A and B are shown apart, each in its own frame.
Chain A
Amino acid sequence: MAALTADQIQSIEERFPQVFQRPFHKRFGPLMLLGGIFLYLLYALWFFNLPQVMRESHWERLPLFLTQWISYDVQPIFRLDETRITAKYPRFSVLGPNPDPDWVKTNADGSVTVLIDGAAKSVTFSKTQATITANGETVAVVLGTGKPLISGPVPGWITAHEDEVVADMGFAGEARVAVDRVRIRKRFLGWANFVFDTRSPFFGKSASEVASLIVSGPELKPGTSNLALAGDNIWNNAQWQHGDVWTKLLQTIVMAFLGTMLGGIVAFPLAFFAARNITPSRLVNQVLKRFFDFMRSIDMLIWALFFTRAFGPGPLAGSAAIFFTEIGTLGKTYSEALENIDDKPREGITSTGANGLLVQRYGVLPEVVPVFISQTLYQWESNTRGATIIGAVGAGGIGLKLWEAMRTNSNWANVFYMVLLILAVVFIFDNISNFLRRRLSQTIHDYNRIQTEQG
């Protein structure tokens, strides 16, 4: 390819000055914007004191918490200073009263073997000695001398403290050996006692046993059928609180529905007065539009806090908060949709001598109703998410329950359960609202097509 000569280059430059001689702000605008953003980020770094926060943060907790979302552990203690070595479980252990798990074995010589992950990761101990097996290695700990002493080399997965030897077995758990006791933490994948809690008569029974009890078993609690008892036990499961969680979830859904619907109903007539092409009074338009801005700008949080104080905590407060915010949001969007309508149908209806209300009904409504419904659905969908958050300040619903479960930092499985429920609700509602809106946009599309075809 032949190179361009200087003349050619110059002629191109002369022909397209808008490309080669752009004004200063256009040439350096983007660069200055990037510089500005960079400076702002530096400032934010300093403002939030990020380096120090990062230094003081505990990232090692993250995998621990995440494993707790989908697993649970059992922590028995074995006292070595008693005549017989027996396992003691915490009072509210997930194994129920008097557990006898098959992973704890008492040997013939009185020593105990705990299989933390089969025989490959296990601990066997008597009053004088403990043998820890994991990662293909076996470590013997002598306990008789007042301090736990490890004979032989110490592998990396064992930490020897002054009075305790800690064996880390990864996800499966850990063993802590001291002279007077052995503490075991064994981790199981899954959710413990999700269906029946330890107080239930159905606890510990397999699905087929429960089914046969329900169908043909003798009444476990006199006067109540087994089916009703099972349902009651599931609903009132003390550990998972299914009944409470589902009720609160329903409250959240109701809050979003009620708030959005009532907001729509109130905003609907107001929008006609706020639209400048429908109500000719500038004063009324402006007053209503500022009112909508006002309702929107007083945040949903402020409304939620006020109504929580007024009505007490609960879904009524949350519904009222969403309702008040939605009057603003929907009023604004409705009036904007009204201002964008085609005036011709309205003129046609007016020319037949119809009165004001009939003009709105037959000249305006058919055009805007699909848009109104579509926007209301959109708000409903986003309020379903919003209702979860304002619930956390006391406005009812699952938000508060979620927040309380997280505060303890030990109930992550319950948190995950609720998160899954919320995700399912959001997913279902998203799809319903998407489906309806697609149908509606088809209607709007058809309408526009007919309009253009007919000129």
Chain B
Amino acid sequence: MTLSVTAPSGATHQMADAWRRKTSLRRLYTAIGVGLLIIALGSTMWFADEANAGHFFDRLPHLLDFLSWLVPKDWNDVWRAMFDIASPHDTGTQEFNFPLGRSYVWGSFYIPEYFELMLTTLNVALVSTFIGFVFAVPFSFIAARNLTPHPVLRQIVKRLMELLRAFPEIVIAGLFAAIVSIGPIAAIIAIGLHSIGALGKLFYEINENIDMRAEEGLRAVGANWFERVRFASLPQVLPNFMSYTLLRVEINVRISTIMGAVGGGGIGEELKLSISRGFGAKTIALVLLLFTTIFIVDQFSAWLRRKLVGEQAFVVGA
């Protein structure tokens, strides 16, 4: 077999030139994009540094000094702080008043303070996710293009969910703190309202992708809207709904911790106090507890989601 080499024709030359022009143009665009990004990064860094109370390069050498308070004199104090056991280093200050937080439930059996606070934070997350789920499910069927009972209703519900999603939680929490007093209830209302919007959006996007044949079948036998939703749509989407709800639980645990720090009760408040006053042992105990809880919640929810919908559960977002 002989290899025949033909000289490139004019057309091939033209194609090669066009290709070269196109790639060089693309490279130029990429370079401009990267350049703009670098400028944006540089200028925002400068802006953030200027506006900050302490500047980055001034504070950097002291970063480890600041961490030194975190190291407790006696590492056993971490466990004592976590389980409310009296410390031999107790000098009557707030730093070591561990047993004060005990809440006795039965005789001398008590729940340590931090565990109780963690429980509050967890319960806030669970109850608000429940509120979100209960409202998001009907909203999502109304807001789905293919299932909505009325297009006008669909727009109203969609806009409402958008508003709930974008409305800053701390404003709702602050408003209700003035009404039902500062504490976990205000946090539940705030996170719950936000969850309605966040879950509702994800749910209706799932609803818009369902297989409509089951729905048509039910429509053919004269089922009404509720029956169609209940028997045709819901069985298709429920595993995905549950998966996203579990993801929401993970997010809500984090938000409820933050809410705690601004007065929503629970572990966030204690953590903020402990860090701002520089209580080493208490801070480490709180961080450990929070870290472990979030880790367990994440892993458990990941496991459950994998059981529900398989590997596709690992779309991070929401």
Q: Taking beta carbons and an 8 Å cutoff, which residues of A are in contact with B?
A: 37, 40-41, 44, 47-48, 50, 53-54, 56-59, 61-62, 65, 247, 250-251, 254-255, 257-258, 261-262, 293-294, 296-302, 305-306, 309-317, 319, 329, 332-333, 336, 375, 378, 382, 385, 388-390, 392-393, 396, 399, 402-403, 406-407, 409, 415, 419, 422-423, 426-427, 430
Contacts and interface: CB of A to CB of B under 8 A. Distances in A.
Given A44-B123, A299-B290, A301-B268, A393 B51 contact: no
B275 A306 contact: yes
A336 B119 CA distance: 32
Given A57-B180, A301-B268, A48 B188 contact: yes
A262 B275 CA distance: 26
B54 A333 contact: no
B162 to A, nearest CB: 8
B258 A299 contact: yes
Q: Summarize A's interface: helix, strand, loop or mixed.
A: helix
Contacts of B259: 389
B123 A403 contact: no
Contacts of A390: 258
Contacts of B71: none
A312 B188 contact: no
Given A254-B47, A297-B295, A333-B316, A403 B254 contact: no
Interface bin, chain B: 35 or more
Interface stretch (B101-109, B164-172, B217-225): B164-172
Given A393-B258, A402-B170, A427-B166, 15 more contacts: A44-B127, A50-B185, A62-B179, A254-B48, A261-B41, A301-B254, A309-B275, A312-B59, A313-B53, A314-B51, A316-B48, A316-B49, A406-B174, A419-B168, A422-B168
A121 B81 CA distance: 63
Contact of A389 (B44, B54, B123, B258): B258
B272 A393 contact: yes
A382 B247 CA distance: 14
B44 A258 contact: yes
Contacts of B179: 57-59, 61-62, 65
A261 B47 contact: no
Main secondary structure of the interface of B (DSSP, over half): helix
A419 B262 CA distance: 17
B168 A389 contact: yes
B295 A293 contact: yes
Interface in B105-122: 119-120
A310 B41 CA distance: 22
B262 A393 contact: yes
A301 B49 CA distance: 20
Contacts of B31: none
A427 B180 CA distance: 30
B51 A305 contact: no
Interface string B27-56: 000000000010011001101110111111
Contact of B181 (A53, A407, A426): A53
Contacts of A261: 37, 41
A48 B126 CA distance: 13
A62 B171 CA distance: 13
Contacts of A382: 317
B295 A406 contact: no
Contacts of A53: 180-181, 183, 185
A402 B51 contact: no
B51 A389 contact: no
Interface in B224-275: 254-255, 257-259, 261-262, 268, 271-272, 275
A47 B316 CA distance: 32
A316 B52 contact: yes
A314 B53 contact: yes
A37 B178 CA distance: 30
A332 B250 CA distance: 15
B79 interface: no
B44 A293 contact: no
A310 B180 CA distance: 35
30 contacts: A40-B126, A47-B119, A48-B185, A53-B181, A54-B180, A57-B180, A62-B179, A254-B48, A299-B294, A302-B271, A305-B261, A309-B66, A309-B276, A311-B54, A311-B56, A311-B59, A315-B48, A316-B56, A333-B316, A388-B170, A389-B169, A392-B261, A393-B261, A393-B262, A396-B48, A406-B170, A406-B171, A419-B171, A423-B163, A430-B166
Interface in B295-318: 295, 298, 314, 316-317
B175 interface: yes
Given A48-B123, A293-B295, A396-B51, A378 B317 contact: yes
A316 to B, nearest CB: 4
Contacts of B275: 305-306, 309
Contact of B174 (A50, A57, A403): A403
A336 B311 CA distance: 11
Contacts of A317: 52
B123 A301 contact: no
B130 interface: yes
A65 B175 contact: yes
A40 B257 CA distance: 21
